[in-house]
Amino acid sequence: MLSSKAPRSMATRLFAAGAVLTLGAVSLSACGGSSSGPSASGGSGDEKVGVSLIVKTTTNPFFVSMQDGAKKAAETDGVDLKLAAGKADGDEETQIQAIENAISKGDKGILITPNGPSVVDALKKAKDAGLFVIALDTPPDPADAADITFATDNFAAGELIGKWTASQLGGKKATIALLDLFDDKIVSVDYNRDQGFLTGLGIDTADKKKNGDEAKTGKYTGGKGGEYEIVGSQASGGNEDGGRTAMETLLAKNPNVNVVYTINEPAAAGAFEALKSAGKEKDVLVVSVDGGCTGVNNVKSGVIGATAQQYPIKMAELGVKAIVDLAKTGNKPANSAGLDFYNTGVELVTDKPADGIKSITTTAASDICWGK
Amino acid sequence: MTQQQTAGPPSAGHADLAEEFLDRQTPLSRIRNILHRYPALSPALVLLIAVVVFGLLNDRFLRVENLSLITQQVSVVGTLAIAQTLIILTAGIDLSVGAVMILSSMVVAQLAVNNGLPAPVALLAGLIVGLAAGAVNGFLVTRFRLPPFIVTLGTLNIFIALTLLYSNGATVRGSAMPGLLTWTGTTFPVGGVRISTGVVVMLLLYIAIAFILGKTAWGRHVYAVGDDKEAARLAGIAVNKVLMSVYLAAGAVLAIGAWIQIGRTNAASPNAGVDLNLDSITAVVIGGTSLFGGRGSVWGTLLGALIVGVFRNGLSLAGLDVLYQTLAVGVLIILAVSIDQWIRKVKS
């Protein structure tokens, strides 16, 4: 009897302890969260500008960098910043809830990288409630669901690496492999970078919003100009694994590939592995877009020839500042000239600079790269 | 001490009786007996404490608009959790609830918008999709005697693929749909607060299913099958028929969930419901329904869904990172299952 009872009361004690601990932990961390932030006084006292940053996921260093940038700006500007994120890429429901919570909280503005078109309705509610909505990196669909978008000019980013490639070729024939993002859906970043690259290289892209509709052979006009052949466009999913598989497929189609465009640096790293195992990594120009710290290191070590660097930290910092500005002075941010968004800038990163193309070295790029 | 207590009733020869008698002696076991009798009691207490704590942490939390918002945020997962409860009561589990709901919502939206069918016909087609999906799950569970976990893991992937094939990955916007489809997203005022129609539909479903489970022979059969399949069979219950009807009922509930989802997001998106299956299981488990079947109630599930909603909203208003919200939900799940195990010891 005694022995059968003892463990049970032990278990019940463990439970009570567990329950108390949890509640304690939750309330403690809740307090810790609000007091460690700039809004130690909570809702009372002088009203701080409330801003919610809602990113796609927290599993991607690009968005983690965005959060870091926003936190830094929030500290200097005395902003009450709340962070939220989808559970996975494409998780619209969690983002909708975060938007609703931002309205409920009484925030002045929302910074969001939308996970899909379903968030548009919630964004409209936010705008109706008087919140200023800034899209970061990705414009919502339709774009006017946000008051303004702060983003990288992805077409310009593609153009930079295209021009650089043309100058490196020095008139040689270009046998081009294109490692895109998707083949089952159309997203703007995908065609803007791909078509920008071809434009920079001096190839007529036909429809600028469509990958793969350009002539497969012909002449490129960039640099000294010369003949080109496009081996194919292959989806990489934007990751190492997909990049490797896509490169292998294209190498099987044509082993003479000497120019590889990649949608981002993880795909480039995967492509390089495929080239290495085929013994072709020496004479191939691999170009990419992103400027993450890992990617910049890959440029330094010669895996990638050149990359176009974008600035998520700056995007978030500018976003927070814009909402503070609006709250204090009533000034709204405006689009960059000639674009339908605010351009947060892009730089060509390479250690083999080309004449007439502005670039920065990998050492300089390492200081401002994201995802350290 | 214990020795004396056992010595107290010398007439109680049977060990179980003695045990039961002992249980009544300590306050903790008295609590356990009460919790065993009313499975919805512990989630109700957790909800009450959570609301009070979050109300103290942020003065905006207890505003009626915010409380109304929480009910809207749980309306979809709350509806899916009804279907999940039905299946878990039979000692099964359904990983495909979210996928079935999304498939149904895409069919409804596409038929109404792209094929120009009248809204009621489109909704009926959505209901048929839900029932068909339930029938597939039920058929595989009863005829092939496959474990529900495996069956629904398989159909989860199948339904996701069908959704993407059917929709080409495209979202259908609410603005293009007939009003009836997004009716569940409309709100009406009740004394200054705006209540969402979708929430009312969900609550009506809870009332209906609670009544059916509690007051009909079918409901008692569901519990009997979940408690002990073999005993139920020996008692003359057609176990397979009951199981099949449970999967069909779940499918119908999911189709209604699809309607609520369309209204809630004012769109039908093939990317929605990333892990609604796990969220619905979370609500059921936190609501005190036993994963081993035969014990629990839909009211507990409603409380479970509300607890998750209150935690997410409350922690968010308190300014906590989204990862801590997920962490808190994880702790809640383990606590809830531990409490269930502890309560179940009353029986053994």
Nearest CA distance, A347 vs chain B (angstrom) = 32
- Chain B contact for A182, CB < 8 A? no
pLDDT tens-digit series, residues A45-64: 457 899 999 999 888 889 99
Q: Considering only CA atoms, which of A315, A283, A301, A299 is closest in space to residue A348?
A: A299
Q: What is the mean pLDDT of residues A146-162?
A: 96
Mind telling me how many Å the CA of A275 is from chain B's nearest CA?
Answer: 33
- Residues of B numbered 164-183 whose beta carbons fall under 8 angstroms of chain A's beta carbons: which are they? 169, 171, 173-174
Q: Which residue has the higher pLDDT, A160 or B340?
A: A160
In the sheet where A217-220 sits, what is the strand order? A217-220, A226-235, A174-180, A259-262, A285-290, A306-309, A347-349
Task: Give the pLDDT of residue B22.
Answer: 53
Quote the pLDDT of residue B192: 79
Contacts of B300 (CB under 8 A, 6+ apart): B39, B40, B43, B284, B287, B288, B289
- Range with top average pLDDT, A77-91, A171-185, B98-112: B98-112
Over 50: is that where the pLDDT of A1 sits?
A: no
The residue of A1, A93, A113 whose CB has the most chain B CBs within 10 angstroms, and thus the best one to mutate to test that interface, is A93
CB within 8 Å: B321 and A120: no
ipTM higher than 0.85? no
Q: Which pLDDT belongs to residue B171?
A: 85
Mutation for B interface: A97, A99, A186, most B CBs within 10 A: A97
Q: For A119, name the nearest residue in chain B, comparing CA atoms only.
A: B265
Interchain CB contact of A29 with B (< 8 Å): yes
pLDDT on residue B7: 40
What is the residue-averaged pLDDT of chain A?
Answer: 87
- Flag if A43 and B60 touch (Cβ within 8 Å): yes
Interchain contact A3–B (C-beta under 8 A): no
Q: Which has the closest alpha carbon to A56: B205, B322, B244?
A: B322
- Minimal-distance CA residue of chain B relative to A115: B271
Q: Which residue of B has its CA nearest to A83?
A: B321
Amino acid at residue number B111: L
The pLDDT tens digits for B131-180 are 999 999 999 999 999 999 999 999 999 999 999 899 887 888 888 899 99
| Distance (Å) from the alpha carbon of B210 to chain A's nearest alpha carbon | 27
Q: Is the pLDDT of residue A326 over 60?
A: yes
Least confident stretch, A9-23, A213-227, B89-103, B293-307: A9-23
A268 against A20, higher pLDDT: A268
CB of A354 less than 8 A from some CB of B:
no
The pLDDT value recorded for residue A366 is 95
Question: What is the full DSSP assignment across A212-239?
Answer: T-S-SEEEE-STT-EEEEEEEEEE-TTS
Would you call A104 and B313 a contact, using CB atoms and an 8 Å cutoff? yes
Distance CA B198, CA A123 (A): 20
Chain-chain contact of B271 with A92 (C-beta, under 8 angstroms): yes
The answer to whether the CB of A193 falls within 8 A of the CB of A139 is: no
Q: Would you state the structure tokens that stand for residue B275, as one six-digit string?
A: 């892990």
Report residues of chain B scoring pLDDT below 70. Answer: 1-25, 274, 346-348
Q: List the structure tokens of B73.
A: 């945020």
Among candidates B59, B69, B269 on the partner chain, residue whose Cβ is nearest the Cβ of A43:
B59
**pLDDT of res. A43:** 40
Q: Tell me the C-alpha to C-alpha distance, in Å, between residue A136 and each of A110, A314, A315, A327.
A: 10, 10, 6, 19
- Interfacial A residues in 54-73 facing B (CB < 8 Å): 58
Residues 7-66 on B with a CB inside 8 Å of A are 18, 22, 26, 28, 49, 53, 57-60, 63, 65-66
Between chains, do B335 and A19 touch, taking CB under 8 Å as contact?
A: yes
- A24 to chain B, any CB pair closer than 8 A? The answer is no
Residue A182's pLDDT is what? 87
Residue A178 in contact with residue A261, Cβ under 8 Å? yes
| Confidence grade of residue A117 (pLDDT, cut at 50, 70, 90) | confident
Q: What is the dihedral of CA B104, B201, B81, B216, to 10 degrees?
A: -110
Give the residue from A47, A119, A121 with the most B CB atoms within 10 Å of its CB, the best one to mutate. Answer: A121
Distance in Å, alpha carbon of B88 to nearest chain A alpha carbon: 24
- Interface mutation target, options B322, B335, B344, chain A, most CBs of A under 10 Å: B322
Average confidence (pLDDT) over A300-307: 95
Contact B267 A121 (CB under 8 A): yes
Which pLDDT does position B8 carry in this prediction?
Answer: 39
